[in-house]
Structure 1
Amino acid sequence: MVQDSAQQEPPAAPATRARDLLPSVVPALVVGVACSLLLTGVSLAAEELQDVLWQVLPDALGVGRYSVLWMFVVLVTTGIAVGLVVWKVPGHAGPDPATTGLDAPALPPMVLPGLLLASALMLAGGPSLGPENPIIAVNVSLAVWLGARAAPRAPGRGWMVLAEAATIGALFGTPVAAALVISEALAGQRIKGRLWDSLFAPLTAAASGALTATLVSQPSFDLGLPPFGSPGWADLLAALTVAAVGALLGMCAVHALPYVHGAFQRLRHPMLMLPAGGAVLGALAALGGPLTLFKGLDEVAELAADPGGWSAGQFATMTVVKLAALLVATSCGFRGGRIFPAVFVGTALGLCAHALVPGVQPAVGVSAGVLGVLLAITRQGWVSLFVAAALVASPSVLVLLCIASLPAWLLVTGRPQMQLRADGTPVR
């Protein structure tokens, strides 16, 4: 019986020869550097415009930089500017952002300038979205278009994977995140050869993208929270509870997306949808304060620098407002991604738990909150674990997060995702 069962086992996939992998190194390096430089360039341009909008102009006009009036004016103006791009620029700045995720399709070249412009205006103007989705879409499209001319026989899917891996590596400053995303994508596919052979070229692109970003802009996710020692039973209970609450909170936004998106779609025109979205975001910013503006990464660092600087009620308000702002910005047509704002939501939730129950360590609360919210918003298990762990840079927290991810995953798996089909129904 043992011999028969052994004979029935399929043979192990043969490993790819080194000489077959080596030709992919140079293209992967080139794609990695190019994708990272494009991301960095757009981010730097957006930061310069942000300084003008939120510092130079209000100072020149004698208006408070983050007064309620100025936040409302800038967000509505940003909606008008992005609406003009979506309306008038060829390609209309790409597909509806509520229908896109990290796995972007290759878009026609004529779409890309408008998408880049809309993304830069959004990043500078303050809506609660990050750069990841549109930048990945642009890099993927450019890689496929240029790759088809440089190597016509190479499969287009290969260029797409390289560009996606390179951009994710540049976004997080490490190739580990890209490897986890691609491994998760490959898990549902039949791959030829060994897994590491399939990851070789994407990991090369991600490494070069991450290294380029590190040399140029030095991204860092470590929040510098108070050090965390050996975990105890109370820490495990806190991680389980906060992660579950984060997942449930994120699922509230997921379930609300079709309805909020449908409400904005009834306006039918980008010059109505986006300014209306800007007005709603202005009202939310007035409620939650300036920290609930923008993609949220710098604002997360400000929160973490002083975990006791706000009350539990203030943290709870920022949590709900930022999640609502993420939902509105996604629904009304601003071009952007959802990972970085979700990190802010999880961080504010974790610090709220610490303020309510001082026994909840800030590192445990923040990492568990980010884990739960990201699981609901992205449905990417490995990325959620990676980002949550990277924020606190403590190996002992990773054990708690792995355990806390299990009940949180049960709350989100098989349910609608925060992404819609073209007809407005949620992806599952």
Structure 2
Amino acid sequence: MTVPPPSPRHSLLRGSLRALLAGAAGGALAALVVSVVLTLQGWVWGSAVLKGLPSERPLLWCLLWCSGIGLAISLLQRHRPSSALPEMVETLTELRRPDGLQTNEGARQLLGGGLALIGGGTLGPEALMTRLIAVASHRIWRGTDRDLVAAAMAGTLGLFHSPLVGGAALAGRRWQLLWRWLPATLGGVAGFVAFRGLSDLGGGLRGVPYDWPVDREQWFGALVAAVLAGLVGCCIGGLLGRWRHWLRSLSLQERFWFSPVLTGLILGFSLWALPLSVFSGENQLKPLVLGAWSLSTGVLLLSALVKLLLVGLCLETGWRGGQFFPVILASSALGMGLHECLPFLGGLQSWSSGVVGGSLSVLLNSPLLGLVLGLTLLQGHGAGALVIGLLVGQLLQRKR
């Protein structure tokens, strides 16, 4: 007797349920790994770092730890170029290719990415989390079910505390790929619920009072500030891209296998001298806005620019990870510094969010992903300025 095939409705329901479970598992595993990384960070650098405040470790401690972790990264990647942790965009690109994910060096990639985060690299956790779940899912399903791999990866992006980031990241610009968008969105929702229950990373500016313009003059000032901030954000996004391109052209790791050690020394000194310029920066954002950091305008602007340069330096010299968290913090800090320089024009949130919007518009291929990321991490603060910054970036890129 022939068993009739399942109906389309039954297949869709079954696929949706599997996507939910995969996304929830991905989000929960990401939360567990992030909590371990944060615990080790607190042990090495002190509990103040976990609150987004400067480390109290002496200079020698910073130099020894960062250079030691740089040496470990150097040995992991020596004569193995493919053992460097891919960025999140690279992992997503692999997932879309016909030959699928390449997981031969998965263990080395994950270990190196974890060491970079623990060692104070100016990096975000999203690259490590997406690669971890991609490698684990690929080995479980042997690459035969990309829908579930996509859903599990979308669930890890619950670390951004938004159920839409996973779907937006997985779909990219190809909206007709419903088979990827639907599982990714459902997985992102499930991962969001699981992750938020297990980790507080990604809270951004939650709990910070909102500041809205109250009259026409303030609205006009906020508009002008947002446009100018968007232009600045585009400039720093382009600066980061050119900086990385120049570093890549030098082939530092191919010529000097110990270049991660030198990067570690730079990070160690920066951690002691300009503590805002290291780590992912997500936990630093709220204390910075609330005034817990006592920084002059010059030091604030310098820290923001150094943080951007360190992002590129880390990524191109073996300290691999994500760029979204540190770029958003650097952009926001730069906007705050510009507001202090021009206090009569617009408000703090207009400058901060506008610069974030402009930089994300340049660095991301998807305006929707930039909008969701910005709104999530800034918790809606300066939402109008964020949109204006994104629009300014899109207009400038089209004219190029």
Shift of 1:269: 5.2
Taking a change above 3 Å as real, the CA distance of residues 198 and 76 of structure 1, as seen in their structure-2 partners, is: closer
Alignment of 1:27 onto 2:12: no
Shift of 1:96: 6.0
Taking a change above 3 Å as real, the CA distance of residues 53 and 95 of structure 1, as seen in their structure-2 partners, is: closer
- Give the structure 2 partner of residue 163 of structure 1: 152
- Give the structure 2 partner of residue 60 of structure 1: none
Q: Is the 8 A contact 1:98 1:333 kept in 2?
A: no
Shift of 1:286: 4.8
**Which of 77, 80, 104 lines up with 1:86 in the alignment?**
77
- Give the structure 2 partner of residue 184 of structure 1: 172
Q: Percent identity?
A: 22
In 1, Cα distance between equivalents of 2:132 and 2:84? 10
Secondary structure of 1:229's counterpart equals coil
Amino acid of the structure 2 residue aligned with 1:241: L
Structure 1's unaligned 5+ residue stretches are 1-15, 57-63, 416-428
- Give the structure 1 partner of residue 50 of structure 2: none
In 2, Cα distance between equivalents of 1:277 and 1:244? 30
Instruction: Map 1:321-340 to 2 at 5 A.
Output: 321-340=306-325
In 1, Cα distance between equivalents of 2:358 and 2:262? 30
Instruction: Map 1:107-186 to 2 at 5 A.
Output: 107-148=101-142, 156-168=145-157, 170-186=158-174
In 2, Cα distance between equivalents of 1:70 and 1:311? 26
In 2, Cα distance between equivalents of 1:171 and 1:131? 9
TM-superposition CA deviations, 1:404-424 (whole Å, max 9, x none)? 322222334587xxxxxxxxx
**Which of 219, 237, 243 lines up with 1:232 in the alignment?**
219
Amino acid of the structure 1 residue aligned with 2:334: L
TM-superposition CA deviations, 1:68-108 (whole Å, max 9, x none)? 333222221121122223249x9963466599365454545
Amino acid of the structure 2 residue aligned with 1:209: G
TM-score (norm 1): 0.79
TM-score (norm 2): 0.84
Q: Is the 8 A contact 2:85 2:320 kept in 1?
A: no
Shift of 1:202: 1.7
Structure 2's unaligned 5+ residue stretches are 1-6, 48-54
Taking a change above 3 Å as real, the CA distance of residues 162 and 356 of structure 1, as seen in their structure-2 partners, is: same
In 2, Cα distance between equivalents of 1:104 and 1:221? 29
Taking a change above 3 Å as real, the CA distance of residues 221 and 17 of structure 1, as seen in their structure-2 partners, is: farther
In 2, Cα distance between equivalents of 1:215 and 1:98? 23
**Which of 36, 39, 44 lines up with 1:45 in the alignment?**
36
Size of the alignment, in residue pairs?
377
Is the radius of gyration larger for structure 1 or structure 2? Answer: 1
**Which of 205, 208, 215 lines up with 1:222 in the alignment?**
205
Secondary structure of 1:209's counterpart equals helix
In 1, Cα distance between equivalents of 2:88 and 2:147? 26
- Give the structure 2 partner of residue 257 of structure 1: 244
TM-superposition CA deviations, 1:194-223 (whole Å, max 9, x none)? x5x763322111111111001111341235
In 1, Cα distance between equivalents of 2:121 and 2:300? 19
**Which of 332, 336, 348 lines up with 1:347 in the alignment?**
332
